[in-house]
Amino acid sequence: MAETVRIIGIDPGLRRCGWGIIESTGNRLGFVACGTITPATDAPLSERLVELHRGIAAVLDEHEPDEAAVEETFVSAGARSALQLGQARGVVLMTPALRGLPVGEYAANLIKKSVVGTGHAEKAQIQMMIKILLPTASFKGADAADALAIAVCHAHHRAIRQIRAIA
């Protein structure tokens, strides 16, 4: 009998940080929960980062995932935006790691390819496939759907790593 692993996917962001939790048992996936953490945009950066950490920590406390997955962010905006997003991403990587959770990192194109079948999928395609893969999923907005896609990608690649380890 295959073990059930609870995975949190996190789509890092300083304005909107999506999170999604699934359970993976063999090749079956199940929806657990999802949401978006929205730090106050008018607060100083340090307070926004603390709010992001507290929000993720609260989700980890409530849902007790076994593993975490985070999107590797691609930034084409200015240097200041890239630096702030990098700081938010550091908090997102650090928070589950502090609890001893293994944290996988995945490129956006790999996530899209794992979920939709093409690395250049649109947001609407990702949301549609998440509803197909996780029929009970209820999400508001692209950030939570993207986080669920990150968790699905992790589950898929986790299974591939296990198969290769056995072979």
Average pLDDT over residues 43-69: 97
Q: Which of 137, 23, 6 is nearest to 64 (CA)?
A: 6
Q: What is the dihedral of CA 86, 39, 58, 87, to 10 degrees?
A: 10
Q: Which helix (H) or strand (E) element contains residue 47? A: helix 45-63
pLDDT value of position 89: 93
Annotated active-site residue 71? The verdict is: yes
143 flagged as catalytic: yes
Strand partners, 11: 18
- Which of 21, 7, 5 minimizes the C-alpha distance to 144? 21
| 97-154 per-position pLDDT tens digit | 999 999 999 999 999 999 999 888 898 999 999 999 999 999 988 999 999 999 999 9
> Catalytic pick from 51, 67, 143, 146?
143
**Would the pLDDT of 41 be above 60?**
yes
- The residues, any chain, with a CB within 8 Å of residue 114's CB and separated by 6 or more, are 106, 149, 152, 153, 156, 157
Check 3, 11, 61, 105 and give the catalytic one. 11
Amino acid at site 31: F
Asked if residue 22 has pLDDT above 90, the reply is: yes
Catalytic residue among 42, 61, 67, 71: 71
User: Does the pLDDT of residue 66 top 80, yes or no?
Assistant: yes
3-state secondary structure of 33: strand
Best CA proximity match to 35, nearest among 57, 61, 6, 55: 55
Is residue 73 very low, low, confident or very high in pLDDT (cuts 50, 70, 90)?
confident
Q: What residues does 7 pair with on adjacent strands?
A: 22, 67
- As to burial, measured by CB atoms within 10 angstroms (0-12 exposed, 13-18 middle, 19+ buried), residue 21 is buried
| pTM of the complete model | 0.92
Report, as an integer, the average pLDDT of 42-62.
97
